[in-house]
Amino acid sequence: MTTLAAIAKLKTELPPSAWSEDQDIISPHVIDWRQRVSGATPILLTPANREDVQQAVRICAEHRIPLVPQGGNTGLVAGGIPGIEQTEILLSLSRMISVDAANPANMTIKVGAGATLQAVQNAAKEAGLLFPLSLASEGTCSIGGNIATNAGGVHVIKYGTMQALVTGIEAVLPSGELYIDNGNLVKNNTGYNLTRLLCGSEGTLGIITAATLKLFPQPKTKLSAWLGFNSMQQAIDIFMNLRHEFGDQIAAFEIMPSAAMAFLDRHLPHAKIPIQTDTPWHALVDIYSMINESSLQNQFIDWYDSNAVNRDGIKDSIIGVIATNQREMDAFWRLRESFPDIQKREGYSIKHDIALPLDQIAAFTQEMLTELQQLCPGVRPVPFGHLGDGNLHFNLTCPVGMKDADFKDMAEDLTACIFGEVHKRGGTISAEHGIGLLRKSDLKRYKMAADLKIMRDIKQAIDPHNLFNPGRIFDL
């Protein structure tokens, strides 16, 4: 059987709207979001329902043709980009955008895999409920992709990763069979949890076509505060203190270095940094509460006065400001979400998505800031991100005056320095972005051999012909 025979059968048995060979239509789908990896495919499949997905999978299985599933194409490890050989068929879920009405009794909502995160957030809001996943790409990224990569975002402290927000999945397996977990039961202890297995599987075990998602009550009050710290350890101490005071009301605790503030000043001259300070670290804190606004604000001010400022060793060493209205809250978050774009304007960046136990982060950060300067004098580290759950985007911006090509040549050594220390301290080289194509060699280096074997065994059991996203995460 040949690829040409498979394509001919796909074109015959699928509706004309479910496929395209037009390269103008295909081209945006075969280059990754950061434009680092590009590929090719002889045909783009765009099914509108699960039956068409099943038919496409059966045809490709019959002809032993690999399929690469793709959501919103906002992934950061090139896991949804086909290879350049034109031997893989790209299947986009972009037309499967259904969003059912929220189920207020079950606190769930069923959506198609191609529905954008923002569409789901809006549907929940219309029902007076909350879907809490929040990402910078939420207007473009799809729910299927969020599940396949087990997306994290800024509210993991309170609500968990995408895996915690998925109660059920509908997916087409490599055989063409349909797996359905309707997700409307709180308890279901009947064997292996295949829904959890599909979360984070990056399209290697099943093509997600729909999902049932967990909803939450809308918080009555939201408080955002911007704080400045003299050290990473101090930021961690303050977070721990906040956690004791506010418990699971803390929705986000985002850390940002002074270097990021300098980038913002340089490239967003009309943006207003909430606090003017020379402290090396800033944090954006969100607290979601069911108590009224004045009570929450008073509680936060009392905490700040009695704990953050006056506690031994921290006295007079932090400053902060509370957003007084929704407009200011939105302005705080626009600054935080501007970092990736601002880094592009500043120069080439080498990016990392690491996580560490909270008690290791301060020492790790200090060690890296020293060692990286020795490896690459003038390098500009910009570690920022989700400190509350231990996830840092430990990004490195090119030294001033260094050519991008020369800096790229140093990427392997700089990354090895960071990942080696992360591994030594019990962390992970990928907290929320996944492995895809770009982190395969790193996973092989830092993941235990027994873990990799188990993953390969699962892959071979479910996808014996290696037809779903082959070569992503690991090679068989």
> What pLDDT score does 1 carry?
46
What is this structure's pTM? Answer: 0.94
Cβ-based burial of 108 (10 A; exposed 0-12, middle 13-18, buried ≥19): buried
- One-letter identity of residue 336: R
Q: Which helix or strand (DSSP H or E) is residue 316 part of? A: none
Structure tokens at 361: 């982060």
pLDDT of 311 higher than 50: no
Asked if the domains at 221-340 and 347-446 fall in one CATH topology, the answer is: yes
Distance CA 459, CA 447 (A): 17
Q: Rg of the chain over CA atoms, in angstroms?
A: 23
Q: Which of 23-27, 65-69, 136-140 has the lowest mean pLDDT?
A: 136-140
For residue 119 the two structure tokens come to 């569409």
* Stretch 55-65: mean pLDDT: 97
What pLDDT score does 239 carry?
95
Q: Are 61 and 176 in contact (CB under 8 A)?
A: yes
Looking at residue 318, its pLDDT comes to 67
Alpha-carbon gap, residue 223 to 250, rounded angstroms: 10
Architecture of domain 108-217: 2-Layer Sandwich (3.30)
d(C-alpha 94, C-alpha 113), whole Å: 8
Confidence category of residue 271, pLDDT binned at 50, 70, 90:
confident
Mean pLDDT, the chain, rounded, equals 94
What is the distance between the alpha carbons of residues 248 and 42, in angstroms, rounded to a whole number? 49
pLDDT tens for each residue of 397-452: 999 999 999 999 999 999 999 999 999 999 999 999 999 999 999 999 999 999 99
Q: Which CATH number fits domain 347-446: 2.70.150.10, 1.10.1040.10, 3.40.50.150, 3.30.70.2740?
A: 3.30.70.2740
pLDDT at 133 over 80: yes
Looking at mean pLDDT, say which of 27-36, 89-98, 254-263 comes out highest.
Answer: 89-98
**CATH classification number, 3-95, choose in 3.30.43.10, 1.10.3720.10, 3.30.70.260, 1.10.1580.10:** 3.30.43.10
Please check the confidence at residue 13 and state whether its pLDDT lies above 70. Answer: yes
Structure confidence at residue 317 as a pLDDT band (50, 70, 90): low
27 with 155: CB under 8 angstroms? no
What's the confidence (pLDDT) of residue 339?
87
* Terminal-residue alpha carbon distance, the chain: 22
pLDDT (tens digit per residue) in 338-394: 988 888 899 899 999 999 999 999 999 999 999 999 999 999 999 999 999 999 999
CB 334 within 8 A of CB 376: no
Residue 271 CB neighbours (<10 A): 14
Helix (H/G/I), strand (E/B), else coil: 96: coil
Q: Which residues contact 182 (CB under 8 A, 6 or more apart)?
A: 168, 212
Q: Which tokens is 156 given?
A: 């993991």
Neighbours of 376 (CB within 10 A): 22
**CA distances for 336 relative to 53, 146, 252, 281, 450, angstroms:** 38, 21, 12, 13, 39
Please give the average per-residue pLDDT across 321-336, as a whole number.
Answer: 94
Q: 221-340 belongs to which CATH class?
A: alpha beta
- 44-45 vs 89-92, strand pairing mode: parallel
Residue corresponding to tokens 């500043």: 346
- Helix or strand holding residue 281 (H, E): strand 281-289
Domain boundaries along the sequence of the chain? 3-95, 108-217, 221-340, 347-446
d(CA 224, CA 321): 9
Q: For residue 19, is pLDDT > 80?
A: yes
DSSP β-ladder status, 178-180 and 380-386: unpaired
CA dihedral 254, 258, 261, 267 (to 10 degrees): -130
Q: Average pLDDT, stretch 146-150?
A: 97
